Amino acid sequence: MIIKQLTIENFGVYLGQHIVNLNVDDNKPIILFGGLNGSGKTTFLDALQLVLYGKHAKCSNRGTEPYHTYLANTKNRHSDKDDIVELSLTFSHTTGTDSNEFRVVRSWKTNIAESKDKVTVYCNGKEDAHISQFWDDFVNEFIPLTLSELFFFDGEKIETLANPERSAELIRTGIESLLGLDLLSQLHTDLGNVERKRKSDNLDNSVIHKVIAQEGEIADQTTLISVLKTDIAKLEKKTSDNNLDINKSRQKVRSA
């Protein structure tokens, strides 16, 4: 994958349309960006990742914001309210002997209740509806999201990447992704989630059965209590009748 051009429009500090040519040659193999704090260096990297990965992008200032809120907040504050925000990345990709040029356009409006981005992908100048629809899957064929931190970072993060523990973790993640081992790790996690859900469902069913059984037992005991109360009432009446008979007998004895 060779990145050729990034176009930024009304994104962050970039008011209007800015076209950045990223082509290099043998005599000039490196492009260096310099500028004061707040001039747009980090925003440039954010735009590069956002156009590729959308809601999965590891942008610098998103934090825990919902994606639609983040999109709304990225619009340049000096742009007109009806202006769209648009990012466009042009790159070439070679598979075997076939080389194709792609242009990915991600755009969104902020004058609606919830900002929602739209992705359109062009292959060799023609819109490809299939790739556009399934871009989140296709992008991993170019640069997998798990490897993005190895490719997209600014100078301020070099110190972090130079940390042996941090760099070792990134390299391990990168190798796993290249070998497809990250899929096995994800599968292991997914299976664990399924197993926990199954156990939770079984636990819920056992609790339900226990509650039903206890409710049945309560109903039986309630019926038994009702029968016993009836028996007690009968015994109390019989006792009362017997006491009356005893009193009558005593009176007869005294009168004799």
Q: Which residue has the higher pLDDT, 61 or 76?
A: 76
Cα separation, 170 vs 163, in Å, equals 11
The candidate with the shortest Cα–Cα distance to 150, out of 132, 168, 134, is 168
Beta bridge partners of 98: 95
**pLDDT greater than 90 at residue 240:** no
Q: Which residue has the higher pLDDT, 63 or 121?
A: 121
User: Collapsing DSSP states into helix, strand and coil, what is residue 1?
Assistant: coil
Kindly compute the dihedral angle of the four CA atoms of residues 181, 184, 186, 187, in this order, to the nearest 10 degrees.
170
In this prediction, residues 156-185 reach a mean pLDDT of 68
In the chain, the percentage of residues whose pLDDT exceeds 70 is 86
What pLDDT, on a 0 to 100 scale, did the predictor assign at position 154?
Answer: 67
Q: Identify which of 95-104, 168-177, 214-223, 229-238 has the greatest average pLDDT.
A: 95-104
Q: Which residue has the higher pLDDT, 167 or 8?
A: 8
Cα separation, 198 vs 189, in Å, equals 14
What pLDDT, on a 0 to 100 scale, did the predictor assign at position 115?
Answer: 83
Exposure of 221 in the CB half-sphere (CA atoms within 13 A): 6
Question: In this structure, what token pair is assigned to residue 48?
Answer: 């590069």
**pLDDT greater than 70 at residue 155:** no
DSSP single-letter state for residue 178: H
Angstrom CA distances, 194 to 191, 199, 202, 251, stand at 5, 9, 12, 85
**pLDDT greater than 70 at residue 48:** yes
Exposure of 40 in the CB half-sphere (CA atoms within 13 A): 15
What pLDDT, on a 0 to 100 scale, did the predictor assign at position 132?
Answer: 94
Q: Which residue has the higher pLDDT, 52 or 154?
A: 52
What pLDDT, on a 0 to 100 scale, did the predictor assign at position 73?
Answer: 92
Task: Decide yes or no: CATH 3.40.630.30 for domain 2-143.
Answer: no
In this prediction, residues 239-246 reach a mean pLDDT of 82
**pLDDT greater than 90 at residue 4:** yes
Predicted confidence (pLDDT) per residue in 15-28, tens digit: 999 999 999 888 88
What pLDDT, on a 0 to 100 scale, did the predictor assign at position 101?
Answer: 95
Residue with tokens 């009168």: 255
**pLDDT greater than 70 at residue 203:** no
- Give me the chain's average pLDDT, please: 84
Q: Which residue has the higher pLDDT, 12 or 178?
A: 12
**pLDDT greater than 70 at residue 53:** yes
In this prediction, residues 126-135 reach a mean pLDDT of 94
Where does 60-148 show beta strands of DSSP type E? 85-95, 98-108, 118-123, 126-127
Predicted confidence (pLDDT) per residue in 64-120, tens digit: 889 999 999 999 999 998 899 999 999 999 887 889 999 999 999 988 777 889 999
Question: Side chain identity at 188, as an amino acid letter?
Answer: H
What pLDDT, on a 0 to 100 scale, did the predictor assign at position 179?
Answer: 65
CB 47 within 8 A of CB 11: yes
